[in-house]
Structures are given as C-alpha cells and as structure tokens.
A and B are shown apart, each in its own frame.
Chain A
Amino acid sequence: MATADSGEAPRDDAAVALDENGARQGTQPAVQARGVAEQRGLFDPQILRGALVGAFKKFDPRVQIKNPVMFVVLVGSIITLIESIAHPGIFDWSITVWLFLTVIFANFAEAMAEGRGKAQADTLRKMRSETEARRLRPDGTEEMVAAAELLKGDLVVCEANDIIPSDGEITEGVASVDESAITGESAPVIRESGGDRSAVTGGTKVLSDRIVVRITAERGQTFLDRMIRLVEGANRQKTPNEIALTILLAVLTIVFIPVVVALQPFGTYAGATVSVVILVSLLVCLIPTTIGALLSAIGIAGMDRLVQRNVLAMSGRAVEAAGDVQTLLLDKTGTITLGNRMASDFFPVGGHTEMEVADAAQLSSLADETPEGRSIVVLAKERFGIRERELTSPHSFVPFSATTRMSGLDVDGRQIRKGAAEAVKTWSSEQGGATPADLAEIVDRVARAGSTPLVVADGPEVLGVIELKDVVKAGIQEKFAEMRAMGIRTVMITGDNPLTAAAIAQEAGVDDYLAEATPETKMELIRSEQEGGKLVAMTGDGTNDAPALAQADVGVAMNTGTMAAKEAGNMVDLDSNPTKLIDVVEIGKQLLITRGSLTTFSIANDVAKYFAIIPALFIIAYPQLHSLNIMHLHSAQSAVLSAVIFNALVIVALIPLALRGVKFRATSAAAILRRNVLIYGVGGIIAPFIFIKLIDMILTALGAY
C-alpha cells in the first residue's frame, strides 16, 4: 500500500516476512496501492466538483436541522434576506450573501469529506463485475448461474482464473488466490479447506488449482457490499462523542440567542435603534459555526484516514474507542517479532563438535517444511557448507506431533531427533543414553535469552542444542516507548513459555506479557482489564480469536483470518498487519484532538468578534463605546461585515485541517494539551483580531465602505 496524506504519523515499515499462512506480514512500501485505498490528493478535482454540487444539495432543511449550529445560521440568513428585500441596501445584501456562503461552506466541507469515500466506493463498484458462478448440483454436476442468484449454502466450483462469485468457505481443495482487488496487495495468498485459512472473499481471483466453496453470505451482504457501504458512509451514525459535542455546541448556540435577542430591548432602553441585520450577524459570529460546520467532516475524514491505511472500521464508535484505548494486546508473532523463529546457533554438548550438531540438525530438518526447519537447513549451509542431500538409502521421516514434541529421521539405523529439550532428553535416556552434564545449563541459557532451545540427539547420544531466535522488529521499542508516554499499556500475547516470553518482552520493551496464551486466558485478560475500566484493543485472525475480538473494545481482524474473526471484530485490516493496531490508536486520538482543537478555536474566536461588533452596534447611542474598537476598524458597517466574512472564510481555511486532522505527536497528555491550547486557544484569540483587521482594510481599500 502507499502512503496516504502527508499528515500521517510515521509507519513502521518493517521488513516483510512470510509466515506459515503464506500471507505477507508487515507492510511493503513498494507495492502499488489498489483496492480501496486508492490514493487521491486532498483536493482531487473530481471530488471538488462533486462537493460543490453537494454543497447546494445539502440546503435541504431536513439535512440542516441535524446540525443545530448551522440551522441557526440558515434561519439567520433567511431573516437578513427578508430584511434586505424590505430595505434594500448594499450592506444588508452583503451580509445576507455572506451568511448564505457560511452555510454553503459548511455543506461543502461535509460534501468534501463524503466525496472521498464515494469516490472509493465507485472504484469498488467497478470491480464488482457480474460474475458467472459454477454451482454444484447435489448430484455432483455443475450448472452455470449468475452470481446474483447464489444463495447462502450453495456450493460453487472455482478454478484457475475464475473470480470467486461471493463470500464463502472452502470445503474442498487448496488454491492460491489473488486478493489484490480487496487489499491492494499483489502477492497471492494460499486458501485451503479446514482451519483458519478457509475463508474466501467475493471478487477475488483464483490463480491456480480447484476449490469448492460453500457460499456463506446472502446476496447484497457480502464483504465487498459491506465495504462499499462503509467507505461511502451510507449508514453513518453520529458517534457517542460526536453527540456529546453536538450537545455542547447546541448549549453554546442556545445561550447566545437570548444574549443577542435581549440586545434589542436593551438598545431601545438606551435610545438606540438596533439593526436586525447586525443582530443576526452578531449571533452568527458568536455561535460556534467553525466547529459546527466542520464537525461531521472531521468524523468522516477520520474513517477515511483509516481506509487510506487499508483498515475498515465497522463504525465510527470503534474509531473513537481507539483513541481511548489504554491496553493494547499485541500478538508477538508478526507484531513484535519478525514472524518466525530462526536458527541462530548450534551449541555442542558432551564433547561433541559444533559440526556434528549441525549435521544432525540438518538431517533431522530435511523434511521439516516449517520456517524454523528451513532456517536450520539454511544455517547449517551457511556455517558449515552442509548442502541439502538426496537420501539414497531407505529412510523414514518422523513428523512432529504434539504428544512426542519432536521430529526427525530414521536412516541407516540412526535415529536422529530434534525437539523440545525435555522431550528429547527423556527419549534419549529411554534409548539408554546418559544426559550430558552441560546440557541443562546451555538449554537454560538459551531459554533465558528469549530463544527457543531445540535439543538434537542421535539415538542415545545427545549431540547439542539449536538456538531458535526470535528476531524483534527494528524500531518497535521506540514505538512502545511512545505508547507508554501516551499512557497506553502494551501487553505481548504469546504461546511461548514464561521464560522465553519474559526475555522477548524485555527486549521489545512491552509493559507486560501473557505467556502460554490460549483463547481462554486471552479472554480472561481482556475481561480483567475491562473490569478495571480500561478499554482494550487487540488483533486476531483465527476463529478461536472471535470471542476475544468481540469482547475487546477495538478488535482488529486480519483480512487473512476467518470470516468468524472478521465478523466478531469491529475493524478489518486488509493488509493483515498486526502492527497497524498502533496506527489505529493514533488515528482515533487524532480524530478527537481535531474536534477538541477546533471547538477551542471556534470559542476563542468570539472575543475578537465582540470587539468588532459591539461598538458598531451602539455607536449612535453611545459614541464613547468607540474605545472598545481596539482594532480601529474603518466604520460600523465594515466592522460587522469583516467579522462575518472572517467567520465564513475561516471555515474554508480550516477544511484541509479538518480532513487531514490536527498533527498528532505521540507524547504525554500534558505536552499534547499544552501545544493545542497554545495553538488553538491562544492562537484562536489572536488570529481573528489580525484577519478581521485585514479584511476591514481590504474592504476599505476597495472603497466599499
């Protein structure tokens, strides 16, 4: 995938490793983005055009009423329109036009944010070609039907170059599948029946082999359909925090209505005639129009930023929750370490040589297709030039099993085994061998270093130890330090034994770890964190992760995972990169910060507007109030108009900020607050003084007033 906006936080572009799923782990900047996250500039001309049209369409009062702040502006502009018609004058008309423009700018901001999602949805729709499906009849024969006619439970056959017609589960066979249409990732992935890799997605393409798929989705409810609806924002609902903020903005709007309306009788008492147009202008300037206009755009853009990173959030609520997360549960494999353990050393015991260990280790691993097994062969070759050999004499491989906990090879009367230290030790002593004195110490040392010790034995003779090392990703330690500064606790989840887990946890710099994790202990951990009031985020892919994903406040399912996992989580990562959980948290925080900062800015702006409008309002009754005209604005009319123009233009000026989000730095809450209060609070007080003065000077220079 490609980088999206420049406003993004730096991403961990760790090296790519293939895991046992054959799916890619880690991100790869070189891969061209396709799929949903098609890159568009912030002001893509196509989106701009659509947004301009949308800005006018949104004038519908039914749309406007949903936003109390902008609704008041709309009502105000209608009042000034009536006044302008009743008493035509250039000033009244100018105010009316600028008030309408204020509403249009707000609509435009929202339409801009929506437009980006709509453009992405269109791209997806184009891909959703009307496919033909080969449905299996109960008697085993095939019939061709349109994908649209497929029902849940139907069986279909897909062979090389077929597009999988709908979401389903492989019941038979194994195939490599190109999922780039969904993920943008060009490397094919392996899908096979049974286990956690059986789910296939409609719209993806089979590259080789033949599979039988049982359809699991109703028409219109496929993953692709859901994805289109999500990026389009069709079911967008206000999130809890957005509702709370809307209430606060409504409060700040309601309170200013009596403030302004009361000025009419106050003015009359003072012997002044108060212009309705100026009163409406004052009201519009005082209510928080800036944040009111940009609020929904900020929310939509937050979801959009996730999509840009190939993460689909099922609801805005999940994005908000991400900002609140206090505990991150991170799978060790793929997130903290590069993926798989690699053989890094051979340690001989009992007087054997390193060469002997390497030779036996290589032999025992010839048939071992796991990445660990392959890494032993590679290491033996690198260190001692031991090549892969063709076994000519009769031999049999002993596969790994959970009960024996070892694997190996029987050849020429030799029984070579490698496996867990305890298992091999027991096995060799059963063969009549004695355990070398130095074995325990070496095994212990390797384990304490966070590596996995595998013991190699040739019959009764224990030869030595293979160290399988977990390689911690570069830069991950800094990432965790940032998390800590933000007050987020990181917990590493691993199936390793506590000793190994502790060593890796220390090397990676996580706060805590859960060793020998099972779905049950994971669930228990989430529950206990939540009982303490914490919000928990996790990633998962397997079906057995589904309950935990559902329980977590933010559950990011890997796209390579099972359908059950994807349905349980509230986000899906199309890249299947668990490290992205950290990005998700940052995007959630950035969304909330943007809201808070623009609210502060909006309220702080009011101070300057008062100094522009109040002296102008009562200048005839009380000329002495000109002392409050500290900006030395040219005339009463230019002062009011300047304030209104500033109020409208600031919305447009802040659209890029709303869409891109306030710059987020991973640091302590206090530092973030200080920075934002300074920029948006203090800056929000000062900026309008400067710009209102500037606008006034321009109006004066134009000879308008």
Chain B
Amino acid sequence: MGFFWTIVVLVVALAVAWRYLGAYMVAVYEGRVHFFGFLERPIYRALGTSPEKEQNWKRYGASMIIFTGVSLLVTYALLRIQGHIGLFNPQHLSAVPSPLAFNTDISFITNTNWQNYGGETTMSYFSQIGALTVQQFMSAAVGMAVAVALIRGFARKESATIGNFWVDAVRGALYVLLPIAFVAGLIFVGQGAVQTLAGPAHIHDALNGVAQTIALGPVGFMEAIKQLGTNGGGFFNANSAHPFENPTGLTNLLSIVLLLCIPFAFTYVFGKMVGSLRQGIAVLVAMVALFGVWVGFTAYAEHQPNPAVAAAGQVHQPTGNTTGKEVRFGDTSSALFGVSSTMTSTGSADAAYDSFNPMGGFGLLTGMMLGEVSPGGVGSGMYTILLFAIIAVFIGGLMIGRTPEYLGKKIQAREVKLAGLGVLVMPIVVLVLTAIAVSTAAGRAGPLNAGPHGFSEILYAMTSQGNNNGSAFGGLTGDTNFYNIVGSIAMLLGRFAIMIPVLALAGALAAKNVVPHSLGTFKTDNTMFIGLLLGVIIIVGGLTFFPALALGPIVEQLSKGHFYGTGLIGPFISHLTAGRLF
C-alpha cells in the first residue's frame, strides 16, 4: 500500500474513532456504561468509594498520588523478586538490578515506557504481564482520568468537586482500554504476533551447525495496550521493528491507528462535555495541523538521501534514507510511525531513530518538544493542550478588550499561574537535566557519537523522558546509575509536576461561574483561535528549544552544507541563507 493510501485509510479510521469512540468515552465517563458492573461495583466497595462520592481537586489529586505510590511499590517489588516468583519464568531470569528496576518502575507508572533494558533478556513473562502490562493499562487510565477532571472543570458551574478519581480510573481501564486492547490483541495474534508462555524456542540449525534461541512470549496482547495506551514499552528490545511484535503491514497500520485514536477522540469528549462540539473540533484541528505538518516534514526528510551514505559514494538513493529501517516499512511509512509515536508520547519504534536523517530526527525530537499535544498521550495530550489554550486565550482575550475567558470561565491570576506552571515544567526539566548530563563525566559517557549527534542523543533522551514519551533515539547507553536516576527524575517531574497543577486548575475552573457568551466574547471555536493556539505552542516550544536544537540536529544538517540538496524547500532555504560569513 502506498504512502498516500496509508494516509487515506488512517484518516478514515481515525475519523470513525473520533466520532464513535469519542461518544462512547463520554458515555463511560458520565457513568452511562455498565456492562462490567459486576466487576466495577466490588472494586468500589473494596476501595470504600462510589460514583456518587465526588471529590474536590485536592482529594482527587491525593487519590491519584496514593494510587501511583502503591503502583510504584508493587511494581518495584515484582521486578526485584521476579526470580523468586516461580511463575511464568521459563528463562529463570533473576531480579532486575535495583537502579534499573527503579527506572523501569517509574517509566511504566508515568506512562513513559523508557526502557533501559532489553525485554527478552531482563524481564520474566510474569514481570512483563503482572508488572509492566498492568501499568500500561493503569497509567493510561490515570492520564485519561486527569484529562476528564480538567474537562469537568470547564464544563461545571460553581462546583466544588471534579469527579471521583477511583471511579474515573476504573471506568477508563475497564470500559475503554480493556475491550479495545482485547480486540486489537486478537488481531495482532491473528496476524502472527507471538502469544505464548512456553518460553523461548531452541533451534538447531543443522545446515550451519549452530544452535539458536528464539525469544518468544506473551507479546500480542501486550502489543495492543502498548499502542492503545500510548505507552510504547515493547516486549522485545527491537520494539515494533521486531516481526513477532509487529508482524505485518496491517499490524503496523493498526498500531498507528491505536496510538492515535484515544488522544484524538479526547477532543470529541472535550467538545461534548463542555456542550459545544465546535470547541472540541477547534482543538482537534490544531492537533491535526501540527501532526500533519510534522508527518509531512519528517517523511520528506526521510525521503532524502542519507548524507553519510551519499558521502560514501552512493549519491543516488531513490528509496530515501533506508539506513536503520525495516525494509517491510520503508522510509515514509517509518517516518509516519515515528511521528505518530513521538507526538503521542508513545515512544514505540519500527525503525532506528538514531539513523534518521538529521532533519528527520529533528522532526521526532521537536514533535516531543512541543509538549506532546498533537495529539499527545492518552489524556495527557488533552490536558496539556488545554494549558496552552488557556495561555492563548489570555493573550488573545486581552487583545479584544476583555479580561480573558475560556468557555465562559474567567482566566485570572490563579489560572494563569497554574497553566504557566504546567507549561514551564517540561522545558525546564529537559534543559536543566541535559545541561547536567553534558557537563558531568557520567553523562558524557553515555552517547555513542561525538559532536552534535552525541549532543542530540543526550537531548533526545532527556526530551523523551521529560515528556513521558519513552522513545529512544538509540546510541545512548542508558543503563547506568546516572541515566537511571536522572531519567527517573525527568519522568516523575514530567508527569506529576504537570498533573498536579492541572488538577488544581480543574478545581479552580469548576468553582467559577460561567460568563454568558456574547458578540464581545473571544471566540475559541474559529480559525483565529486555532491560529493563536498553534502560535503559542510553536513559539513556546520553539523559543525554549531553538538554541539546543541549533547545537544538535540543525548544526548537524548544516554541516552537510545545506538543508536539502533537492526538492522544493532546499533551493529556497539555500537562497535565503546564502549570506556572507560573519
């Protein structure tokens, strides 16, 4: 299937998901879906709560922290004692070393799925299922709950409460994630993804006289939630490039659909719950615009010749940059997968991102640097873009001569403070930790390459963890005490230092009265607002990361003398930049 038809199918599938999955999610979070009531009710009873017991933002946040804390301890314990649990450990793998277990634990509870380990050689099947896959469900459900809480903040009027965390998390996992992941898992297995607890296969190649061990495991169903929950942590080290994880072109496309469907559908949830679908569509358009441009840019970059291969004499490369790509997927499709994965905080990979052309890597890196909002992770994309929207509304609203309001909620000092805080955290975490990494011996020991590419490798690792993406640029030796600890800090701050202000914001907004709409109101459902929102996202992301990018992928690309040798943009930029030297 050509790239064009891939896009067409993707658009149709996502449009259907947006409309129907979106409507279904609204029903779930409004408590109108009950088919797992027999499971749901006992859970609430055990937790001593019920859907009627609404929480204010502080209790909501505290419940979220308690849940995460318990997850953290349980996951850590399971990874540390995997050797002693006599179950599902055919390879007899022993305990995961403590710094690595700590990093992996935080990585999975924060929905990051940064992997400083090779799955098939480190984790027992029990750990893969009981520790990691469970968190792939629960961390996704937590992200979605926080987004729903923020949406309720906008939708409610003079309300002290924003929902019940336990109920939202349980419903998200039970009614949204579980059924879809189950069906998708069946497709993965049907297409040839392995699903077994029997342990690796041992093959004796009589012809060549060598014995081979083929890693197997419960892969297919984990694969479904890996993508659906924008987790990204695969069973195998090679992630979605591995034929047992991602066996066919169909599963490749299905992966992309799965990782985009919930984040995009959240705009429908937003529109419906605030009572105006147009509001949701405006946010959707902003997300799609960014996503489309990034896919186009990165696919274009990957369709260009690999400069290193060209320097080695192979100038003519009609299939683009194929270095580090699965031949089954090729240049543009790998770029599409890469952008989908980095822009959704998933971080799965069906190609080696380290081998992308400098500008292709730039596309992936900047896709994360924009704050994971287009469409971002499940739930996290929605609440993060709403933070940007509040800032856009504040500046834009002033320009029409009113103290700003968004969906009738006055945006005042408290809201600006919380939105500002939420937006500040990620760039500060990424830049400060990158600065620490490049100035310490332990940090400098990490990257494989020297110069700008080595810098890109460190910057990418911090960006990926600070944004809870989890994709690896590769080339960086991550399983060191330094990177395990620094990465854990990045992931924790990147998740909770944003979630807490978001919940506080939800509480502040819910308590407000709604200013009625009039002709003098700043409209947030038209092209102008979309433009402003995009402007704020790009300017905040661009201004904060431009210097770092200049020292990484930009200078790397410029070292080849020009942006692109051929194509439409190349001559234009060359013309623009053909200035004198200083």
Give the CA-CA distance A664 to B398 in the complex, in Å. 13
Q: Mark B438-474, 1 if CB is under 8 A from A, else 0.
A: 1100001000000110010000000000000000000
- Name the B residues within 8 Å of A669 (CB-CB): 400, 402, 519-523
- Name the A residues within 8 Å of B431 (CB-CB): 258-259, 262
> Which of B82-90, B104-112, B226-234, B413-421 lies on the face that meets chain A?
B413-421
**Shortest Cβ distance from residue B418 to the other chain A in the assembled complex, whole angstroms:** 10
Give the CA-CA distance A507 to B550 in the complex, in Å. 65
Contact A255 B424, beta carbon cutoff 8 Å: yes
For residue B493, CB closer than 8 A to chain A, the reply is no
Contact B412 A635, beta carbon cutoff 8 Å: no
- Name the B residues within 8 Å of A269 (CB-CB): 438-439, 444, 455
Mostly, the A contact residues are helix
Contact A254 B402, beta carbon cutoff 8 Å: no
For residue B25, CB closer than 8 A to chain A, the reply is no
Query: Which of B397, B427, B542, B551 is within 8 Å of A622, CB to CB?
Result: B551
For residue A148, CB closer than 8 A to chain B, the reply is no
- Name the A residues within 8 Å of B397 (CB-CB): 596
What's the A-B contact tally at a CB cutoff of 8 Å?
228
Contact A624 B403, beta carbon cutoff 8 Å: no
**Which single residue of chain B is at the shortest CB-CB distance from A242?**
B413
Q: Mark B403-439, 1 if CB is under 8 A from A, else 0.
A: 1000010011101110011011001100110111011
**Which single residue of chain B is at the shortest CB-CB distance from A488?**
B520
**Which single residue of chain B is at the shortest CB-CB distance from A679?**
B399
- Name the A residues within 8 Å of B523 (CB-CB): 669-670
**Which single residue of chain B is at the shortest CB-CB distance from A251?**
B420
- Name the A residues within 8 Å of B566 (CB-CB): none
> Which of A84-92, A318-326, A409-417 lies on the face that meets chain B?
A318-326
Contact B582 A628, beta carbon cutoff 8 Å: no
For residue B532, CB closer than 8 A to chain A, the reply is yes
Contact B424 A616, beta carbon cutoff 8 Å: no
For residue B544, CB closer than 8 A to chain A, the reply is yes
> Which of A195-203, A597-605, A644-652 lies on the face that meets chain B?
A597-605
For residue B208, CB closer than 8 A to chain A, the reply is no
User: Which of A485, A603, A624 gathers the greatest number of chain B CB atoms within 10 Å?
Assistant: A624
> Which of A353-361, A364-372, A398-406, A585-593 lies on the face that meets chain B?
A585-593
Contact B399 A600, beta carbon cutoff 8 Å: yes
**Shortest Cβ distance from residue B45 to the other chain A in the assembled complex, whole angstroms:** 40
**Shortest Cβ distance from residue B289 to the other chain A in the assembled complex, whole angstroms:** 17
For residue A677, CB closer than 8 A to chain B, the reply is yes
**Shortest Cβ distance from residue A489 to the other chain B in the assembled complex, whole angstroms:** 7
Query: Which of B451, B513, B535, B547 is within 8 Å of A614, CB to CB?
Result: B547
Give the CA-CA distance A507 to B554 in the complex, in Å. 66
> Which of B194-202, B213-221, B572-580 lies on the face that meets chain A?
B572-580
User: Which of B444, B547, B573, B576 gathers the greatest number of chain A CB atoms within 10 Å?
Assistant: B547
Query: Which of A260, A487, A595, A633 is within 8 Å of B520, CB to CB?
Result: A487
Task: State how many residues of chain B have any CB contact under 8 Å with chain A.
Answer: 72
Give the CA-CA distance A625 to B582 in the complex, in Å. 10
Known contacts A487-B520, A615-B582, A626-B581; A673/B399 CB under 8 A: yes
For residue A10, CB closer than 8 A to chain B, the reply is no
**Which single residue of chain A is at the shortest CB-CB distance from B447?**
A269
Q: Mark A162-195, 1 if CB is under 8 A from B, else 0.
A: 0000000000000000000000000000000000
Give the CA-CA distance A626 to B547 in the complex, in Å. 14
Give the CA-CA distance A258 to B435 in the complex, in Å. 9
Contact A677 B528, beta carbon cutoff 8 Å: yes
Give the CA-CA distance A639 to B397 in the complex, in Å. 35
Contact B513 A533, beta carbon cutoff 8 Å: yes
**Which single residue of chain A is at the shortest CB-CB distance from B528?**
A673
Query: Which of B403, B514, B548 is within 8 Å of A266, CB to CB?
Result: B548
**Which single residue of chain B is at the shortest CB-CB distance from A680?**
B399
Contact A592 B398, beta carbon cutoff 8 Å: yes
Give the CA-CA distance A662 to B528 in the complex, in Å. 20
Contact B444 A670, beta carbon cutoff 8 Å: no
Contact B403 A635, beta carbon cutoff 8 Å: no
26 contacts between A and B (CB under 8 A): A248-B394, A248-B395, A248-B420, A254-B428, A261-B435, A262-B431, A262-B432, A262-B547, A267-B551, A268-B438, A270-B551, A324-B402, A487-B518, A596-B400, A603-B539, A604-B539, A607-B542, A607-B543, A618-B550, A628-B577, A629-B579, A669-B519, A669-B521, A669-B522, A677-B528, A681-B535
- A-B residue pairs, 4 tightest by C-beta: A487-B520, A596-B398, A589-B401, A251-B420
Enumerate chain A interface residues (CB-CB to B < 8 A): 240-241, 243-245, 247-248, 250-251, 254-256, 258-270, 286, 320, 323-324, 326, 484-489, 532-534, 588-590, 592-593, 595-597, 599-600, 603-604, 606-607, 610, 614-619, 622-630, 632-636, 639, 664, 668-670, 672-674, 676-677, 680-681
16 further A-B contacts with Cβ under 8 Å, apart from A262-B431, A617-B547, are: A247-B420, A248-B394, A258-B431, A262-B435, A268-B439, A320-B403, A326-B516, A487-B520, A533-B515, A534-B516, A596-B396, A603-B395, A614-B546, A629-B579, A630-B576, A635-B582
